[in-house]
Chain A
Amino acid sequence: MLLLIPLLPFLGFVVNAFLGRRLSKSISGGLACGAIIAAFGVAVVSVLRMLGDPAGALQQDVFTWIASGRVNVPFSLRLDHLSALMILVVTGIGSLIHVYSTGYMHDETDGEYARYFSYLNLFASFMLVLVLGANFPVMFVGWEGVGLCSYLLIGFWFRKQSAADAGKKAFVVNRIGDFGFVLGMLLIFATFGTFDFQQVAAAADGRGIEHGLGVMTIATLLLFLGATGKSAQIPLYVWLPDAMEGPTPVSALIHAATMVTAGVYMIGRNAVLFSHAPTTLAVVAAVGVATALMAGTIGLVQNDIKRVLAYSTVSQLGYMFLAMGVGAYAAGIFHLYTHAFFKALLFLGSGAVIHALAGEQDLRNMGGLKKYLPVTYWTFLIGALAIAGIPLLSGFFSKDEILFRTYTSTNSSAKLLWTIGAITSLLTATYMFRLVFLAFHGERRHEAPAAPAHPEEEEPAAHAAHAAHGHADHIHDAPPSMAIPLIVLAIGSVVAGYVGVPHALGGSNRIESFLEPSFEVSESARRTQTLGAEATPAAPEGVRAASLERQEQAGEAAEHGSSEELMLMAISSGIAIAGILIAAYFWLRNRPAADAMARRMHGAYNLLLHKYYVDEIYDAAIVQPIKIISTSGLWRGVDAGLIDGAVNGLGQTIRAGSGGLRRVQTGSVRTYAASLFLGVVLILGWYLLRS
């Protein structure tokens, strides 16, 4: 049953990949959508069955994958509360994006269209394997799979150099992270002797909290390196903004439903392990909040509509890691879930804008689109309000939960983390509404006075047809296949947060209690653990004490915190509104002020516009040295010098030796006869003398 969930999109991929060329667009698109929607159906049924199950989890051992000595890895899928939420997000949001894509990609040729949908299906399939995997190797299959699919989809228009480069960049950067993930995974196996998440959790629990730099800390740090690659955190976030070269629905898929959530999910999945390594958690929180702030500031000045959204994703992911880092796993996953709605909405909305403007992505060439694109405008506005954290929309609840949990966390610099988080929240509101005002309000601008930073990213073929009926005289709003997902996502962006209404507002924070079991050691795993290792009888008590303590803390927090939480909530709502007002002042009322500001702080502005020159620094510090080492060291030195030298040298030695030896061939019969005779004498003599 569980296997069907990733298998259905995979079948869609197989059919489209092998027969896609011969299928018409409506068939290949319909097939892909059908596959993912069916997977959504199966996911819903499975989740309902899981909730009815007394154990609170479903497990399916599909087959024994690796059985070799001590290593025994079954290909197991496991559905618990955490993965239930994830599969619903992946298949649900994924379905909407598939449907949207049928409209967005309609100008591609049949073959390309089928190729696109086969990749999309494969992407969803691998993501489902990732979230359903019951042990590290199975998760790793999905982990690598989504990396591959992101490469394929970002470089979908591979005839365009920048798209091909961006795909390559995403792949290479992800590989660096994956390297850490593999090392972490193997270290965990070497330490605990198991790959299974639950058994790892139980074993980690038996060890007690580890301070300093022990084996669990190193393993979790390595896993976190993997997470920074997938989830675009410092230092490996650089691929995500470039990933905007892909088709817009792909960006939506990568940013909302698949791929970037993998890192956050992985930490949530190993919550017990991470909880036992406080050093790692501090690193996670610091990296998260730094990324959030950095990406937020960059987002403030970018001119490409999709790039702003990309940095906004990086920034929101930073929030999620901040939540993970302060131990508020449920809050992080909650934000992941609400973020999926509004970020998908924002990307699809920006896709509708780009589609309507025949491929135009530069904000400076937009403006006044509100009256041409009413559906897009209103849905986009809802998404922007949600991400800004305006009260009663989904983003408000999740972001607030994170900030509150940060504020009350035991982290030694909790207040600093909270302050940076709050500043980032101000930035979020500002850059989102800058986007809204520049794109949808004001006058329609055709050509930017300055040469656009990203001159008409011509998406080959895709928008060529649109260019014909593109410009202002005939801007059309999203067709139904694109409008319906937008509307559904807009509704989702409004209501998705109500599963997590905090106690302070009279809610019950249902999502937290729903997810809680996934962040603890399950009973069955603990039982096998205690059976297996009777040497640590203290462990279960410790565990019970810890969980009791946790419950107490939660209760305390509920009592103590409620007034504090209300105050924080008011502050962050105020911040969000202030952010919007700032944006309104600069980009709606008084645009020259924004330009004047940019001129006055021209150093800072340039720094942000060039994204802190991180790409340039990486290029100078890493890419160029590698190139130099590869070119002059490995290529000219080792390959051409050493290896080719050895091969050629051998040839030359033999040639020279033979040149000498062939002088023996004198042509004189008598010499030959003499050497023959001498040889016979020598051989016979040797035999005679030997005996």
Chain B
Amino acid sequence: MVSLNHYLVLSGILFAIGTAGVFLRRNLITVLLSVEIMLNAVNLTFVAVGRYLNTVDGQIITFFVMTVAAAEAAVGLALVISLFRHRETLNPDAFTVLRW
């Protein structure tokens, strides 16, 4: 029997992987992908808890999150492309002009 805890643990693992990816990867596109993994980890939690509580709220929220994730991906990729045109690189450490 797959219990709620299984889903939550899986979600936690996914979230940790995503976070690690955001922090450790040196490629902006990979970073964006990692963010997607984090979002999906959260979605999984929502759906699982929704199922557990016998409501549809979790699923509704998940749709919202997916919409936002889609928008975020569109804007993020557009920014990545325009950054790439400037510096010919995708390393996030190269873009530190916006500071003191």
Alpha-carbon distance A662/B98, docked complex (angstroms): 12
B98 engages A667 (CB within 8 Å): yes
CB distance from B34 to the nearest CB of A (A): 10
Are B93 and A673 within 8 A (Cβ)? no
Per-residue CB contact flags for chain B residues 57-100 toward chain A (1 = under 8 Å, else 0) read: 00000000000000000000000000000000000110111111
Q: Are A668 and B93 in contact (CB under 8 A)?
A: yes
Q: How far is the CA of A239 from the CA of B43 in the complex (A)?
A: 90
**Complex interface: chain B residues within 8 A of A673 (CB):** 22-23
B100 and A662 contacting across the interface, CB-CB below 8 Å = yes
> Which chain B residue has the least Cβ–Cβ distance from A677?
B19
**Complexed CA–CA distance, A670 and B95 (Å):** 10
Query: Is the CB–CB distance between B99 and A667 below 8 Å?
Result: yes
Q: A residues within 8 A CB of B99?
A: 665-668
A339 CA to B100 CA, complexed, in Å:
83
Q: Which of A635-691 contact B (CB under 8 A)?
A: 662-663, 665-670, 673-674, 677
Measured CA separation A284–B99 after assembly (Å) = 80
Q: How far is the CB of B87 from chain A (nearest CB, A)?
A: 13
* Of B19, B95, B99, most A-chain CB atoms within 10 Å: B99
Residue from the set B92, B95, B98, B100 with the largest chain A CB neighbour count within 10 Å:
B100
Map CB proximity to A onto B1-39 as digits: 1 under 8 Å, 0 otherwise: 000000000000000000100110000000000000000
By a CB distance below 8 angstroms, the chain B residues around A668 are 92-93, 96, 99
Cβ contact within 8 Å between A667 and B23: no
CB neighbours (8 Å) of A677 from chain B are 19, 23
B93: nearest residue on chain A (CB-CB)?
A668
Tell me, rounded to whole Å, the shortest Cβ–Cβ distance linking A300 to chain B: 81
Contacts of A667 in B (CB 8 A): 95-99
Q: Which residues of B contact A665 (CB under 8 A)?
A: 98-100
Contacts of B96 in A (CB 8 A): 666-668
On whether the beta carbons of B19 and A669 are closer than 8 Å, the reply is no
CB distance from B49 to the nearest CB of A (A): 16
A661's closest neighbor in chain B, by CB? Answer: B100
Q: List the A residue with the shortest CB-CB distance to B22.
A: A673
A287 to chain B, nearest CB (A): 74
Tell me how far the C-beta of B31 lies from the nearest C-beta in chain A, rounded to whole angstroms: 8
Tally of B interface residues using CB under 8 Å? 11
Residues of B bordering A, CB below 8 Å: 19, 22-23, 92-93, 95-100
The range of chain A's interface size is: 10 to 19
Q: Can you show 11 pairs from A to B with CB atoms below 8 A apart? A: A662-B100, A663-B100, A666-B99, A667-B95, A667-B96, A667-B97, A667-B98, A669-B95, A670-B22, A670-B92, A677-B23
**Residue in A closest to B28 when the chains form the complex, CB atoms:** A669
Q: How far is the CA of A77 from the CA of B60 in the complex (A)?
A: 85
CA distance A76 to B99 in the complex (A): 75
Report the separation of the CA atoms of residues A674 and B19 in the bound assembly, to the nearest whole angstrom. Answer: 9
- CA–CA, A321 to B63, complex, Å? 100
A670 and B100 within 8 A (CB): no
- Given A674-B23, A677-B19: A669 touches B92 (CB 8 Å cut-off): yes
Q: How far is the CB of A681 from chain B (nearest CB, A)?
A: 10
Cα A663 to Cα B23 with chains together (Å): 21
For B95, the chain A residues whose CB sits under 8 A away are 667, 669
Q: How far in angstroms is the closest Cβ of chain A from B78?
A: 16
A391 CB, min distance to chain B CBs, angstroms: 98
A337 CA / B92 CA spacing, docked (Å): 100
Q: In the complex, which residue of chain A has the Cβ closest to the Cβ of B96?
A: A667
**CA–CA, A663 and B22, complex, Å:** 23
Q: How far is the CB of B63 from chain A (nearest CB, A)?
A: 23
Q: Are A670 and B23 in contact (CB under 8 A)?
A: yes
B94 to chain A, nearest CB (A): 10
Q: Nearest 6 pairs between A and B by C-beta?
A: A667-B99, A667-B96, A662-B100, A669-B92, A667-B98, A665-B99
Instruction: Return the chain A residue nearest B97 by Cβ.
Output: A667
Alpha-carbon distance between A666 and B92 when the two chains are bound, in angstroms: 13
Chain B residues contacting A662 (CB-CB under 8 Å) are 100
Closest to A676 in B: B22
**Separation of A663 and B96 alpha carbons in the complex (Å):** 13
- A668's closest neighbor in chain B, by CB? B96
Known: A667-B97, A669-B92. 8 other contacts (CB 8 A): A667-B96, A667-B99, A668-B93, A668-B99, A670-B92, A673-B22, A677-B19, A677-B23
Compute how far the CA of A665 lies from the CA of B100 in the bound complex, rounded to whole angstroms: 6
How distant is B98 from chain A, measured CB to nearest CB, in Å? 5
The distance in angstroms between the C-alpha atoms of A633 and B50, with both chains bound, is: 75
Assembly CA distance A669 to B28 (angstroms) = 10
Give chain B residues whose Cβ lies under 8 Å from the Cβ of A670.
22-23, 92-93
Alpha-carbon distance between A384 and B92 when the two chains are bound, in angstroms: 105
Residues of A within 8 A of B100 (CB): 662-663, 665
> How many Å from the CB of B90 to the closest CB on chain A?
12
Docked pose: A666 CA to B95 CA in angstroms: 10
Complex Cα spacing A674 to B100, Å: 18
CA gap between A662 and B99 in the complex, in Å: 8
Give chain A residues whose Cβ lies under 8 Å from the Cβ of B93: 668, 670
CA distance A674 to B99 in the complex (A): 16
Across the interface, name the chain B residue whose C-beta is closest to A663.
B100
Q: Which residue of A lies closest to B19 (CB)?
A: A677
Nearest Cβ distance between residue B16 and chain A, in whole angstroms?
A: 11
A598 → chain B closest CB, angstroms = 83
Question: Could you give, for residues 345-389 of chain A, a 1 whenever the CB lies within 8 Å of some chain B CB and a 0 otherwise?
Answer: 000000000000000000000000000000000000000000000
Shortest C-beta distance, B15 to chain A (Å), equals 11
Whole-angstrom distance between the Cβ of A683 and the nearest chain B Cβ: 16
* Separation of A667 and B96 alpha carbons in the complex (Å): 4
Write the nearest CB–CB distance from A136 to chain B, whole angstroms.
Answer: 68
Shortest Cβ gap from A672 to chain B (Å) = 10
Question: Considering the chains assembled together, what is the distance between the CA atoms of A669 and B91 in angstroms?
Answer: 10
- Complex Cα distance, B99 from A670, in Å, reads 13
Closest to B25 in A: A670
Q: How far is the CA of A673 from the CA of B31 in the complex (A)?
A: 11
Report the separation of the CA atoms of residues A605 and B65 in the bound assembly, to the nearest whole angstrom: 104
How far apart are B17's CB and chain A's nearest CB, in angstroms? Answer: 14
Q: Which residues of B contact A669 (CB under 8 A)?
A: 92, 95
Instruction: Give Cα A677–Cα B38 distance, bound, in whole angstroms.
Output: 12
Contacts of B97 in A (CB 8 A): 667
A487 to B59, CA, bound (A): 112
Residues of A within 8 Å of B19, CB to CB, are 677
Tell me, in angstroms, the Cα distance from A667 to B93 when the chains sit together: 9
A663–B95 CA distance with the chains assembled, in angstroms: 16
Cα separation A665 to B96 with both chains bound (whole Å): 10
On chain A, the residues within 8 Å of B23 by CB distance are: 670, 673-674, 677
**Nearest chain-A residue to B100 (Cβ)?**
A662
Q: How long is the Cα–Cα vector from A662 to B92 in the complex, in angstroms?
A: 21
Residues of B close to A674: CB separation below 8 A? 23
Query: Closest CB-CB distance, A666 to chain B, in whole Å?
Result: 5
By a CB distance below 8 angstroms, the chain B residues around A663 are 100
Cβ distance A673 to chain B, nearest Cβ, rounded Å: 6
- Set of chain A residues within 8 Å of B22, measured between Cβ atoms: 670, 673
List the B residue with the shortest CB-CB distance to A659: B100
How far is it, in angstroms, between the C-alpha of A670 and the C-alpha of B25 when the chains are bound?
10
